[in-house]
Amino acid sequence: MNHFSRKFRCAAWLLLGGILTVPAAPIATNSAVNHAAATTNNPAATEYHLHPGDTIQVHIYGEDDLTSKAKLNENGEVILPLLPALDLNGATLEQANKRIGAAYKKDYLVNPVVTVAIVEYGNSKVSVLGQVGRPGVYQFPSNERLNLLQAIALAGGYTRIGEPSRVTIKRTVSGRTTLIRLDASAMAEKEKTAIFDVKPDDVINVGETIF
């Protein structure tokens, strides 16, 4: 390999797994999430984060034998030449560049110049439960947005006793769970109500009409 500065080391990695239980955050409502939803609905305000199933192309300047294509596994990890599994789940392309560069610099290269590009997007999933026609898990392309009304439509819409104003979303980020209460009827009918974008692994539940 060209320009390699290698250090011969013996190392062992121990992967530790555990479950972190964190109390749910305070409940958010339509009024509390309108500003966040409006920001999410603005493409200029968002940046793509790598997701399991995405395939990336990694190019290292001057090191053609290290150029590779890899798919993020279900844990968001990739296997690249000479490196152990590298976690890129949730990373932007800029962050992926830095993580890969640091990994190669640690044991193999001096100041590597890394470029990461997405060559194929994977799928994200969202669960839609409760009073919908077809409760279940639905997939959508990771690079595309899916809002609450679209997710409910994927699940067959509301049942006869489904209540659009009684929708909740359970969302877990970094071990912290938030329960968001939403009024989907207001989103569909009121012009100034932002339509809420769902995120991968959200659990949507449509409640029943209260007679």
* pLDDT at residue 152 tops 90: yes
Tens-place pLDDT, residues 17-61? 332 333 344 455 544 444 444 434 443 335 899 999 999 999 999
CA nearest neighbour of 196 among 69, 47, 29: 29
Strand duo 203-208 + 123-130: pairing: parallel
Between the alpha carbon of residue 174 and those of residues 49, 67, 139, 151, the distances in Å are 15, 32, 22, 23
Tell me the domains of the chain and their CATH numbers.
25-46+122-208 (3.10.560.10), 55-120 (3.30.1950.10)
Q: Supply the pTM of this predicted model.
A: 0.67
- Percentage of the chain lying above the pLDDT 90 cut: 69
What's the pLDDT score for residue 28? 52
Tens-place pLDDT, residues 87-121? 999 999 999 999 999 999 998 999 999 999 999 99
**Average confidence score pLDDT of the chain:** 82
